[in-house]
Copies of this chain bind each other. A is one copy, B any other.
């Protein structure tokens, strides 16, 4: 009894709009699952991977990010950032740097180990991404980006 394949949606649909939304939703869920093990092994978790990527991009752009900035970019609660950075500091991946002139705030930066880890992980990560997208034509890739971005625009109004 109940032998639904993970590819299947958990329901049947007559409503095409509903189906498109649930299909996108479910794909997001599946994406997290498919990459979870990889992130877990490589850097601890998806959340920590995202922090590393954003910090690296900021570093290249010459920006300083505090915890609020991370909270905004990653769309996670600032209270969540506290624990995340705690755990990453314990692993010597990032550092809280005092900010001259504002004792409320910390600039979060990569440690050498954190920078090293980002470099190591990037290759295998991109390879996995390409495995996932291997059946897509260039047009399909662009169309998927366009449609999901369009949905995102609408969703930000509803939040």
Contacts and interface: CB of A to CB of B under 8 A. Distances in A.
Contacts of A7: 149, 152-153, 156
A29 interface: yes
B30 A29 contact: no
Interface stretch (A18-26, A78-86, A112-120): A18-26
Contact of A18 (B18, B20, B129, B151): B129
A111 interface: no
Which of the four size classes fits the interface of chain A? 35 or more
Nearest to A6: B156
Contacts of A54: 10-11
Contact of A73 (B10, B19, B23, B65): B10
A18 B133 CA distance: 8
Nearest to A64: B1
B31 A63 contact: no
B24 A27 contact: yes
Given A6-B159, A54-B10, A17 B133 contact: yes
The 9 nearest A-B residue pairs measured at CB: A28-B28, A2-B69, A17-B133, A27-B148, A20-B141, A20-B144, A23-B148, A144-B147, A34-B155
18 contacts: A3-B72, A4-B72, A6-B159, A7-B152, A10-B54, A10-B57, A15-B129, A21-B132, A23-B148, A24-B31, A24-B144, A25-B28, A25-B31, A25-B32, A27-B152, A34-B159, A132-B154, A135-B154
